[in-house]
Amino acid sequence: MQTISAEQALLPGGWHRDVRVRVDDQGRIAEVAPGQGDAPAGILLPAPGNLHSHAFQRAMAGLTEARGPQGSDSFWTWRQLMYRFLDHLTPEDVEAIAALAQVEMMEAGFAACGEFHYLHHQPDGTRYDDPAELSARIAAAAAETGIGLTHLPVLYMQGGTDGRALEGGQRRFGNDLEGFARLLEGASEALAFLAADTVLGVAPHSLRAVTVDALTEAARLRPDEPFHLHIAEQRAEVVEVLAAHGATPVKWLLEIMDVDPRWCLIHATQMSPEETLGLARSGAVAGLCPITEANLGDGIFDGARFQEAGGRFGVGSDSNIRISLTGELRSLEYSQRLRDRGRALLAEEARSTGRVLLQSVCEGGAQAMGRDSGAIEVGKWADLMRLDTTDLDLEGLESDTALDAWIFAGGTGRVRDLWSAGRHQVRDGRHTARDRVEARYRPVARRLRHAL
């Protein structure tokens, strides 16, 4: 049984000093004891999960910022480059890129990753001999890095609501329901050797990419596991769904499906106030990716209204253009301030902005990922991080103020230690596997960047 101590710790009931946490051999918290005295410096926090990642896109980071030949750029032109990028990815590349992304996630403060995995086949659409070959590569990366994994194989059937065939890079995604069921079975086998905190869920890509019947059937495949779906990310998507179904995406989904707390709706940046309130009432988690949403020009989530209605949310790194837990939290709050021209819009009377943000994404991320974590509490997985209070931005600060300074004023590298289900993977600010993971990634990145 390992013991983790810190001078300050954020427990479910608030801040406590000189806290000792004992973790059992299975990686669960066995004891939380405040007031132990002489605890080492540092701030112990629950470590959230990164609920939405496309790991392979980490190797594209920074390559899509030039304006297109038509004189304008958008999500849709970005997507075309992403499809061309897919033509060059091998299974070995996928594993190397995923491992680097996971290392960076953990160094940033994420204890787990929800991998929204839609890359299944060879570049021409031919299936690998093992239909879950690329899921197995994600699992192999997780085994090396020790990150908690919620794997979310994606069902992708068509190129739009009109049922058009997949083409170009999309051919690597496609499955019918029968093929997808085989993929899930293979993914289950690929994940079997990972630790007990591993979760396998289901992810229909979007309302554009699956039929109504397939969406219903997909929800039945693993009825007790996480169910994730891209929704209402772009205006063009809203227009397409409205034309096809006579209602905007979130409104239509809430009418036709029994959306409940196991659902996670990703982005939802294009919602009416009525849809925002409806999503909050459903109990589903809003999966927000503020850095990617800003990078792609998606729009701003209606966070203040959603929060006031009791909605739950978590954050993810999505395209992995920049992997930063504090960056996601800061971008979420700042987007609300820019839209509404106010400050501290997600704060509460008894909790600062930073504390509301961190506790919300810990709880919402745990729910969305089917992960028994989200708080420093007996019985939960020991997903923990310890901040370095010798950092200049945290010097002399405590409790909520220190948390705010970390999120809004601090740079990178403040996470001194991180545990994922008790696995101590980040020590003194550096992941234990970084050197070998980075060495394997470098030649992959050089080749792919040259190919583009």
**Three-state DSSP class for 243?**
helix
User: Active-site residue among 267, 302, 391, 431?
Assistant: 267
Q: 183-189 contacts: CB < 8 A, separation 24 or more?
A: 183/120, 183/131, 183/132, 183/135, 183/153, 184/153, 184/221, 184/222, 185/132, 186/130, 186/131, 186/132, 186/135, 186/136, 187/132, 187/135, 187/136, 187/151, 187/153, 189/132
Compute the distance between CA of residue 34 and CA of residue 18 in angstroms, rounded to an integer: 6
β-pairing, 29-33 vs 14-23, is: antiparallel
Give yes or no: 267 in active site. Answer: yes
Catalytic-residue membership of 93:
no
CA separation, residue 149 to residues 59, 286, 324, 409 (Å):
20, 19, 18, 30
How many beta carbons lie within 10 A of that of residue 224, not counting itself?
8
For the record, the structure tokens of 317 come out as 């790194």
Please list the alpha-helical segments (H only) found in 149-289. Answer: 177-191, 212-221, 235-245, 249-256, 273-282
Please tell me which residue in 318, 388, 404, 417 is annotated as part of the active site.
318
DSSP state of 129: S
Q: Which residues are tagged catalytic?
A: 267, 318
